[in-house]
A and B are shown apart, each in its own frame.
Chain A
Amino acid sequence: MPLLEVKNLQVRVEEREILHGLSLTVNKGEVHAIMGPNGSGKSTLSHVIAGKPGYEVTGGEILFNGEDLLEMSPDARAAKGVFLAFQYPVEIPGVATMTFLRTALNAQRKARGEGEYSTPDFLKKVREVAARLNIPQEMLRRGVNVGFSGGEKKRNEVLQMALFEPSLCILDEMDSGLDIDALRVAADGVNALRSPDRAMVVITHYQRLLNYIVPDFVHVMSKGRVVKSGGKELALELEASGYAQFEDAA
């Protein structure tokens, strides 16, 4: 059974249809890149999979391990193993990062019928992961993402990914706002999480990110559909020829 199956998905925002019958199949262990010009519907796809309010699904379905994902609340999806790394992680003043991480991890475990982590076990785990991602302890005491640089915010997303151990990671424009050094650190963190039990969907406008996170499959989106799929070499083709050919085709 595929981990994720998006079948003929049609999505509206207010009165406008953004996705016009999108299909995508992702198996465990695979890394898929979704590329496409601005406005092609890449971020909409990631939001609909994570369950963000404001999108109306008018047709098609999304199955996750064979279950109907669209019937689940965003928190139920997270507990099942769906993780969206945000393009713009929000700042939450007054909620300490440690408190947030602990509340989220225990909420997911509780939803799965697992016991809560004890404080020492939790602290040990966070410290290990944070050290690996070069995140100072001081950052964990601050409010969630408050005063973090762009690179720190993205590393905090990767930290959560490592901590929550989801089976599907969707990385929405992970490279936006990052310089090359920050990108490398974040990408190394993501690569460390590649595993035969986990799939990743990397959404990006630019080929650059795919030099660091090398995909197994590349899909090109245009005007709300996947218009071409191929191997990693497709990304290099796009780098040379641009998206214009697909915009005409769609």
Chain B
Amino acid sequence: MNVALAKTETGHALSDAFAVARDRLPGAGKVAEARQQAFEAYERVGLPHRRIEDWKYTDLRALMREVLPLAAPPDAAALKRAAAALKLHAIAGVRRLVLVDGVFAPGLSEAGNLEKGLGIRTLRDVLGAGDARLQAQLLGPENTDSMVALNSAMMTDGIVIEVADGAALTQPLHIIHIASGGTPAAMFTRSLFVLGNAASATLVESYIAAEGAKVYQVHDSLIVSIGDSARLDHVRLIEDGREAFNISSSQVTLGAKAHFNTFGLTSGSSVSRYQATMAFDGEGSRVETNGVNLLNGRQHADTTLFLDHAVPNCSSREIFRAVVDDRGHSVFQGRIIVRPDAQKTDAKMMTRALLLSDEAEADNKPELEIFADDVTCGHGATTGALDESLLFYLRARGLSEKEAQALLIQAFVGEAIESIASDSLRELAISAAQRWLAARG
């Protein structure tokens, strides 16, 4: 492949788009400078392709081909379609924060009457108002990954959440990304979650499409900072439309004695990539990061996790399950680095894939880099089909082929879902899995 040529092709179309969009992007001065630098970093590489090691299973240059123009801000009709979609995906008892086509929609959100210790602002507001501390956190991600760089250049809106030291939020926060279904377009969002020391909160992120939304691109990122002795429970549900792209990145930093329980389920979108970096910055902390891919048709979903054990006495657990039917393609890359000082690290990763058809594909790439000598680390990966003897047993008891498969698939993904600590979040994940199973017929 002629890399230089390909870069020029994709780069040119987009640099025009960046020039056009720039006036709509919030933030002047340092923010605008950072955007420019990020865009240049993106242009140097263009869309990631298979020769970039981190992206070798998800060749965006082949799969995505181009970045679509920035979505227009939602008009009344778009907001109406989004409201209809929201009704179908509403979760009881949560505080809704809605982004329609990448722009905060106050009319669909509940951003008022905040609990004590909770602060909510929009990215647009924070980048525009010159809040140096929050801006520094928002501009924190480096431009080494070209999709992160692109997001840094183009971020249009998002939610900035701050939870004060000691605050224990009772109501989960639910960030919902809705594609309203206008012309094919890209949306660029970035959210920030700052959880104070000894605070606790629950965050749900959903990605959905309004009726009629077909081709669109979600470019999202989330920056999370978890204070000392704080705890965050987190679930992501990717239920985008079947022609959509979802490229999301997250960067999580944990203080001392902190706890992060996170789970991601991908059943929607045509092509998706979730790349998350979780870094331990204080001792005695724990991460449980688990996920499930449920794919069919020609769906491609990539989960790439990086656990950075930079300090001693932290533990991490990764359980990942992929169920792949038809010509679907699931990718799991799990990298764990244990740095020289990180003694007494306890890190385990297990990934399993279930292939329901001969053409389904699953790539598992565990990677352990251990530079400390007193650690417990392990990983395992398996790929297989449904056990014929179990299927026959269930069918001999009256279950149809689909019913028997559904029961075994639920059992297969169950272990990852069981690891969700919160009962209500677990129910959300189970419902999303059941929606996928029901859609199989």
Contacts and interface: CB of A to CB of B under 8 A. Distances in A.
Interface of A: 50-53, 73-75, 77-79, 83-84, 86, 89-90, 92-95, 99-100, 103-105, 107-108, 111, 143, 160, 164
Interface of B: 387-390, 392-401, 403-404, 407-408, 410-412, 414-415
A84 B392 CA distance: 11
A210 B380 CA distance: 48
Contacts, number: 76
Contacts of B407: 95, 99-100, 103
A78 B396 contact: yes
Given A103-B403, A107-B403, A51 B396 contact: yes
A140 to B, nearest CB: 15
Contacts of B412: 94
Given A53-B388, A94-B414, A95-B407, A86 B393 contact: yes
B118 to A, nearest CB: 38
B403 to A, nearest CB: 6
Contact of B398 (A93, A99, A143, A164): A164
Main secondary structure of the interface of B (DSSP, over half): helix
Contacts of A50: 396
Contact of A108 (B387, B393, B398, B401): B398
Contacts of A100: 394, 397, 407
Contacts of A93: 411
Task: Give the most central of A74, A92, A103: most B CB within 10 Å.
Answer: A74
A236 to B, nearest CB: 32
Contacts of B390: 90, 92
A103 B396 contact: no
B186 to A, nearest CB: 40
A78 B390 CA distance: 16
Nearest to A89: B393
Nearest to A79: B398
Nearest to B395: A74
Given A92-B408, A93-B411, A94-B415, A53 B392 contact: yes
Contacts of A53: 388, 392
A93 B25 CA distance: 52
A160 B408 contact: no
B408 A73 contact: no
B334 to A, nearest CB: 22
B415 A52 contact: no
A95 B411 contact: yes
